[in-house]
């Protein structure tokens, strides 16, 4: 009788232990497979943003490769270069239940060139007008005066003054103004005269 009771208790304990082990094994199988998909989907759904105001977010590209993220770097560098920008960051993901690789790229805009410090454009001088033409052209001779000019091989402006006196005298007038300027060389003087009275009209010699 005692041995029968012991056998009955042993069988009951074995049955309870078996039930507990089967139950634990079933719970573990239901939890573990569900944990990995949620982890991978979380990585896929996490936002990938570029640096505000600097980065340019590229459209996601997917590659069908066996494994590895090596296509992403080459793709992102080429895509950024095509936009006139350059690569500075990317992300590589592998979706669940696939061997594909998904690439996200960030491209940085090049820095603007420094401002050009250029000299102000020079405007050409206004065209010179003949000095002292009759009627006061150029404001050198008064209205009604006669303008004459000549070139003398000399380095002394006093020769221009004497020439103007002689020239105006030949016209029957008098000198109202005379100017002396260096000509083609320092040994040449350009004489310009204003004569009043006598014959009218400019004279060049």
On whether the CB atoms of residues 52 and 9 are closer than 8 A, the answer is: no
List the CATH code of the domain at 51-111. 3.30.1490
pTM over 0.95: no
Radius of gyration of the chain (CA): 52
In degrees, rounded to 5, the angle at the alpha carbon of residue 205 between the alpha carbons of residues 149 and 190 is 40
Give the separation between CA 64 and CA 83, rounded to whole angstroms. 24
- The predicted-structure confidence for 144-154, as pLDDT tens digits, reads as follows 888 888 888 88
On whether the CB atoms of residues 160 and 179 are closer than 8 A, the answer is: yes
| 2 vs 50, more confident | 50
β-bridge pairing 174-182 and 86-93 = unpaired
Q: Domain ranges for the chain, please list them.
A: 51-111, 146-204
- The predicted-structure confidence for 59-111, as pLDDT tens digits, reads as follows 566 777 656 777 888 888 888 888 888 888 888 887 777 777 888 888 888 88
> Could you give the 3-state DSSP secondary structure of residue 111?
coil
């Amino acid at each position: 009788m005692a041995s029968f009771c012991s056998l009955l208790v042993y069988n009951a304990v074995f049955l309870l232990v078996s039930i507990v082990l089967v139950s634990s094994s079933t719970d573990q199988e239901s939890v573990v497979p569900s944990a990995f998909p949620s982890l991978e989907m979380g990585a896929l759904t996490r936002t990938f943003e570029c640096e505000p105001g600097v980065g340019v977010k590229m459209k996601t590209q997917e590659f069908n490769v066996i494994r590895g993220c090596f296509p992403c770097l080459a793709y992102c560098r080429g895509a950024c270069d095509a936009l006139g920008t350059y690569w500075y960051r990317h992300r590589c993901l592998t979706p669940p239940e696939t061997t594909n690789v998904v690439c996200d790229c960030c491209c940085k805009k090049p820095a603007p060139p420094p401002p050009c410090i250029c000299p102000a454009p020079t405007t050409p001088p206004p065209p010179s007008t003949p000095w002292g033409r009759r009627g006061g052209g150029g404001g050198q001779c008064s209205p009604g005066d006669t303008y004459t000019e000549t070139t003398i091989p000399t380095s002394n402006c006093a020769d221009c003054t004497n020439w103007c006196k002689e020239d105006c005298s030949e016209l029957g007038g008098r000198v109202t103004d005379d100017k002396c300027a260096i000509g083609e060389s320092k040994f040449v003087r350009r004489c310009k005269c204003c004569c009043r009275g006598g014959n009218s009209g400019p004279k060049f010699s």
